[in-house]
Amino acid sequence: MKHIISALVENKPGVLAQVAGMFAARAFNIDSLVVGRTEDIKLSRMTIVVIGDDKVVEQVRKQLAKVVPVVKVQDFVGQPVVARDLMLITISTPPAKRPEIQSLIEMFRGKVVDIGQKFITAEISGPEEKIEAFINVCKPYGVKNVARTGTIAMPRQAKS
């Protein structure tokens, strides 16, 4: 089962290495890891996606909470979350196929960010399934390069 874990950490040098070291020392595999600043300049948020059963992920969560610079750890399993991935993808595109590719990009609510004589680079964001679907649709044209951010996530806010 896929788990999305959010860790609020102190924004200082070496924290990422400590957290990654904790995962490596315990032979936990990280499917995705994203780190970015928060609204508080003293804190960063790590969004870590791990695949494993609940028991293994609970052990990961507890070990993560023991790392000194970690302020708060939350596993989003079973909670409503907003999760997104961002991808840049370069697709082989002869001029005759360009309108076809641009139409696909629009269908996936993406945008063209670069055009060359033989390629188009698009930006697509959304749930991981949407990103994977777009890659699969583009394969027949020739995917030249893909760069992805990994999953970022936040709990859904209760409607008021």
> Same structural domain for residues 52 and 109?
no
> Same structural domain for residues 64 and 101?
no
Residue type (1 letter), 11: N
Question: Which of residues 75, 107, 135 is at a domain's end?
Answer: 75
pLDDT at 105 over 80: yes
The answer to whether residue 160 is domain-embedded is no
Mean pLDDT of the region 122-140 = 96
What pLDDT shows up at residue 55? 83
Residue with tokens 């995962």: 23
> Same structural domain for residues 128 and 100?
yes
The answer to whether residue 61 is domain-embedded is yes
- 65, 50, 75: which is closest to 150 by C-alpha? 50
- The 3-class SS string of 100-155 reads HHHHHHHHCCCEEEEECCCEEEEEEEECHHHHHHHHHHHCCCCEEEEEECCCEEEE
| Type and span of the H or E element at 44 | strand 43-51
pTM of the predicted protein model? 0.81
State the average pLDDT for the chain: 90
Number of independent structural domains in the chain: 2
What is the per-residue pLDDT across 3-54, written as a single tens digit (0 to 9) for each? 899 999 999 999 989 888 888 887 788 889 999 999 999 999 999 998 888 8
pLDDT > 90: percent of the chain: 59
> Same structural domain for residues 50 and 93?
no
Q: Give the residue numbers spanning the domain of 6.
A: 2-75
Question: Which of residues 75, 90, 110 is at a domain's end?
Answer: 75
Q: What is the DSSP code string of 87-106?
A: EEEEEE--GGGHHHHHHHHH
How sure is the predictor about 159, in pLDDT bands with cuts at 50, 70 and 90? low
pLDDT at 146 over 90: yes
| CATH code, domain with 65 | 3.30.70.260
What pLDDT shows up at residue 22? 85
